[in-house]
A and B are shown apart, each in its own frame.
Chain A
Amino acid sequence: MTARNHRRRGLSLAGMAALALFASACGGSSADNDTAGGDPSKAPVAGCEEYTQYGDLSGKTVTVYTGIVTPEDAQLKATWAPFEKCTGATIKGEFDKTFEAQILVRAKAGNLPDIAIVPQPGLLQTLVKTGKAVAADQATTDMVDKNFSASWKGYGSVDGKFYAPPQNASMKSLVWYSPKEFTEKGYKVPTTLDELMTLTETIAKTGKKPWCAGIASGEATGWPVTDWMEDFMLRTAGPEAYDKWVNHEIPFNGPESTAALEEAGKYLKNSKFVNGGYGDVKSIASTTFQDGGLPILKGNCSFHRQASFYAANWPKGTTVAPDGDIFAFYLPGKAATDKPVLGGGEFMLGFRDAPEVHAFQAYVASATWANLAEQGGGGRCATPNKNADPAKAAGCSDIDKLAISVLQDPNAVFRFDGSDAMPSAVGANSFWKQATNWITGQSTKDTVDKIEASWPK
């Protein structure tokens, strides 16, 4: 029940400290105004101008329930502090790794928080269907219209009604590699899928298995394969077909998706290409996703496809930078001009119709909040808020900066992780399970057929 929460980003204590400093500066100690990211407001009135629109919320409490846990809970709380200070409201957070299973139980039993931070559109739909969720108010909707693309607003909507503004986002279309190895061997970062295959073959000819992967994740074992398939679906069939596939307007075992899985299989099921450092193809199934990319460090493999949050998995002392031990490149499209991006995100779903709840939702959707999140650095850096100030992201990690530049790039075609948006019987069960069987030997056709058969009628 927890594994999907693992799919987020890492930490940076330095950034957190900077934000804490900012938060205290907002409280009135103006002496520290030019620390770290810098105080956005020059006014001495503790920088509360941007908060007047939320009104006076003294004595009001908003409870927030989320699967975000240490150390990001502290980073998140730091972004709430100025709001609490300026409006007088209290934001009470509950941070729990088992959020995804718990929230459904609580929803059904009627014991709900004011706001739940929901990491999947599929779960959001289920929660809204319990009838307990409250639609966003006009101020929040306006804020979202101003700051987010229509597709992001769409992921927070159910049946055309807008409920939940987005919070953070993550980027999944990344391939981790060793910049050092590239310089030494003279490899170039591939800009098309064909180039990626050519480079893979070149490395394989040296006798090294170029790719390493791991999909074990307890009950969620198999999910990294779903990301592979989605990335290839988005690239080989295009975003329109991708949407239809996610919404089941075309069958799961149709030609487009079958081809996409075949493409992924060219890497994942070729024993010459995988599984560097861990053994044969089958060993992918027993290697945890957290361990999956580690052999790059020891030179046992060259590539590992995993989201931006994988940055947190490199051991202490690893330099994650364009010229460091480890970095990631964007998993290229078919052509160099294509820019499809697969990613994930979180949504603030409200359950209580009260001014303070709506105000807090609107606040998180504001550029003020996005800038604070960027300034805080760490795992809360990346937001899809297009009006966030990129300059504020100076304290973010290189990988988060890369993610932010792609997520906020108007030319990028963003699509949400499809398995997170499919009905949970598929997206959180049969898709994972059959993908695992596929790794341990099941044919592509059997795999897509079985998933299609499991789609709820």
Chain B
Amino acid sequence: MSSTTGDAVLPTTSTPSIAVIETAGKKARKRLTSPWASLIAVVLAVLWTAPTFGLLITSFRPRADIDGTGWWHFFTKPTFTLDNYREALSSGSGGLGTNFINSIIITIPAVLIPISLAALAAYAFAWIEFKGRNLLFVCVFALQIVPIQVTLIPLLSLYVDAGLNGTFWTIWLSHTMFGLPLAIFLLHNFMKEIPRELIEAARMDGAGHVQIFFKVLMPLLTPALAAFGIFQFLWVWNDLLVALTFAGGTPELAPLTVSLANLSGTQGNAWHLLSAGAFISIAIPMVVFLSLQRFFVRGLLAGGLKG
């Protein structure tokens, strides 16, 4: 099982059979996009989307209908209202606008900082030889298991002692700490996949680690960085616990999630508001996901090898 990793990637790299048979290539491409494949993809997409679609419909139905009949009744007896969105948007003590800005202020550094630090650390773990490297790496990624909940009291005590409580710093630092293990794990494994020859060649040319990091690795890692960027963004954007614990729910610092969590009111039963709220909060992550898609590009590595 373990021995396949090594020989699978590299040997195939060195077996580009030079025979140029255009038609074979076209055939293979055709088979990959057979109608069966499309059918399976569509079925999966429908299965995955149907529950969310139900919520989307629900968010436009009047409250009495939500409680009384299933959302699919929308198609036979359509009842449509924007009240849920209107009510959800007008709630929140400081207005959702302030929360929205806070979310942005929180998210940007809390995504940039861990990605940069993790990229540096992952590089060190992947391409610099030093004693205890693997042990340290295993320790770092195993730390993913520590539940955020056990860190709350010790960390908050430290922040209070440092006088940092009630500032954005606590949230940025905490998200960085919690995001690093996964980021390093993810990026390390992507970096490891970069052919050794590439790094060796650069070193032969006299490049130092810093140059290799920026000139050779960074361009190749774009998809991986984009992938992690999306997730770190999501966690931070959807986080409630870290923001509440370290910064508190005061309007000056509270992100969108705090207001949305309070949406259902003190009394609780507000499926109609919560369903609208869920779609308000999902808008930005979807935009980020779609816009980061253009970094998912193919062929960078191949180009690098040729050059």
Judge if A72 is at the interface, Cβ distance under 8 Å: yes
Which chain A residues lie closer than 8 Å to B156 at the CB level?
105-106, 109-111
Q: Given A74-B93, A109-B156, A316-B63, is A94 in contact with B250 using a C-beta cutoff of 8 Å? A: yes
Judge if B193 is at the interface, Cβ distance under 8 Å: no
Whole-angstrom distance between the Cβ of A427 and the nearest chain B Cβ:
19
The digit string for B146-162, where 1 denotes a CB below 8 A from any CB of A, is 00000011111101100
Judge if B54 is at the interface, Cβ distance under 8 Å: no
A92 touches which one: B159, B165, B250, B269 (CB < 8 A)?
A: B250
Judge if B229 is at the interface, Cβ distance under 8 Å: no
Judge if B266 is at the interface, Cβ distance under 8 Å: yes
Q: Is the CB of A8 within 8 A of B266?
A: yes
Judge if A21 is at the interface, Cβ distance under 8 Å: no
- Considering the chains assembled together, what is the distance between the CA atoms of A288 and B244 in angstroms? 26
Judge if A344 is at the interface, Cβ distance under 8 Å: no
Judge if A254 is at the interface, Cβ distance under 8 Å: no
Which residue among B64, B157, B165, B269 has the maximum number of chain A CB atoms within 10 Å of its CB?
Answer: B269
Residue of A nearest to B250 (CB): A94
Q: Is the CB of B244 within 8 A of A102?
A: yes
- Considering the chains assembled together, what is the distance between the CA atoms of A96 and B156 in angstroms? 18
Which chain B residues lie closer than 8 Å to A70 at the CB level?
91-93, 262-263, 265-266
Which chain B residues lie closer than 8 Å to A109 at the CB level?
152-157, 160
Q: Is the CB of B244 within 8 A of A96?
A: yes
Which residue among B68, B155, B265 has the maximum number of chain A CB atoms within 10 Å of its CB?
Answer: B265
Q: Is the CB of A6 within 8 A of B244?
A: no
Which chain B residues lie closer than 8 Å to A6 at the CB level?
266-268
Whole-angstrom distance between the Cβ of B211 and the nearest chain A Cβ:
44
Q: Given A97-B261, A109-B153, A315-B64, is A5 in contact with B248 using a C-beta cutoff of 8 Å? A: no
- Considering the chains assembled together, what is the distance between the CA atoms of A109 and B266 in angstroms? 26
The digit string for A390-429, where 1 denotes a CB below 8 A from any CB of B, is 0000000000000000000000000000000000000000
Which chain A residues lie closer than 8 Å to B264 at the CB level?
97
How many B residues have CB within 8 A of the partner chain? 32
Whole-angstrom distance between the Cβ of B93 and the nearest chain A Cβ:
6
B265 touches which one: A3, A11, A316 (CB < 8 A)?
A: A11
Whole-angstrom distance between the Cβ of B153 and the nearest chain A Cβ:
5
Q: Is the CB of B269 within 8 A of A72?
A: no
Judge if A313 is at the interface, Cβ distance under 8 Å: yes
Whole-angstrom distance between the Cβ of A119 and the nearest chain B Cβ:
10
Which chain B residues lie closer than 8 Å to A73 at the CB level?
93
Judge if A108 is at the interface, Cβ distance under 8 Å: yes
Q: Is the CB of A96 within 8 A of B152?
A: no
Judge if A69 is at the interface, Cβ distance under 8 Å: yes
Q: Is the CB of A291 within 8 A of B67?
A: yes
Judge if B258 is at the interface, Cβ distance under 8 Å: yes
Which chain A residues lie closer than 8 Å to B153 at the CB level?
105, 108-109
The digit string for B90-102, where 1 denotes a CB below 8 A from any CB of A, is 0111000000000
- Considering the chains assembled together, what is the distance between the CA atoms of A11 and B153 in angstroms? 35
Q: Is the CB of B261 within 8 A of A105?
A: no
Q: Is the CB of B67 within 8 A of A294?
A: yes
B262 touches which one: A11, A97, A316 (CB < 8 A)?
A: A97
Whole-angstrom distance between the Cβ of A294 and the nearest chain B Cβ:
6
Q: Is the CB of A309 within 8 A of B249?
A: no
Which residue among A6, A109, A291 has the maximum number of chain B CB atoms within 10 Å of its CB?
Answer: A109
The digit string for A305-338, where 1 denotes a CB below 8 A from any CB of B, is 0000100110111000000000000000000000
Residue of A nearest to B165 (CB): A111
The digit string for B244-259, where 1 denotes a CB below 8 A from any CB of A, is 1100111000000010
Q: Given A70-B91, A105-B245, A316-B63, is A288 in contact with B269 using a C-beta cutoff of 8 Å? A: yes
The digit string for B72-116, where 1 denotes a CB below 8 A from any CB of A, is 000000000000000000011100000000000000000000000
- Considering the chains assembled together, what is the distance between the CA atoms of A11 and B156 in angstroms? 35
Which chain B residues lie closer than 8 Å to A54 at the CB level?
none
Whole-angstrom distance between the Cβ of B68 and the nearest chain A Cβ:
8
- Considering the chains assembled together, what is the distance between the CA atoms of A73 and B267 in angstroms? 12
Judge if B240 is at the interface, Cβ distance under 8 Å: yes
Judge if A51 is at the interface, Cβ distance under 8 Å: no
Residue of A nearest to B270 (CB): A290
Judge if A441 is at the interface, Cβ distance under 8 Å: no
- Considering the chains assembled together, what is the distance between the CA atoms of A102 and B262 in angstroms? 14
Q: Is the CB of B266 within 8 A of A379?
A: yes
Judge if A269 is at the interface, Cβ distance under 8 Å: no
- Considering the chains assembled together, what is the distance between the CA atoms of A370 and B262 in angstroms? 25
Which chain B residues lie closer than 8 Å to A11 at the CB level?
265, 267
- Considering the chains assembled together, what is the distance between the CA atoms of A21 and B208 in angstroms? 71
- Considering the chains assembled together, what is the distance between the CA atoms of A34 and B68 in angstroms? 44
5 CB < 8 A contacts A-B:
A2-B261, A11-B265, A97-B261, A97-B264, A109-B156
Which 10 pairs show the lowest CB-CB distances between chains A and B?
Answer: A290-B269, A6-B268, A109-B156, A312-B267, A69-B262, A96-B249, A109-B157, A313-B269, A8-B266, A108-B153
14 further A-B contacts with Cβ under 8 Å, apart from A8-B267, A9-B266, A109-B154, are A2-B261, A5-B268, A70-B91, A70-B265, A94-B248, A96-B258, A97-B266, A108-B153, A108-B157, A309-B266, A312-B265, A312-B268, A316-B64, A379-B266
B-side residues, CB < 8 A to A, are: 63-64, 67-68, 91-93, 152-157, 159-160, 165, 240, 244-245, 248-250, 258, 261-269
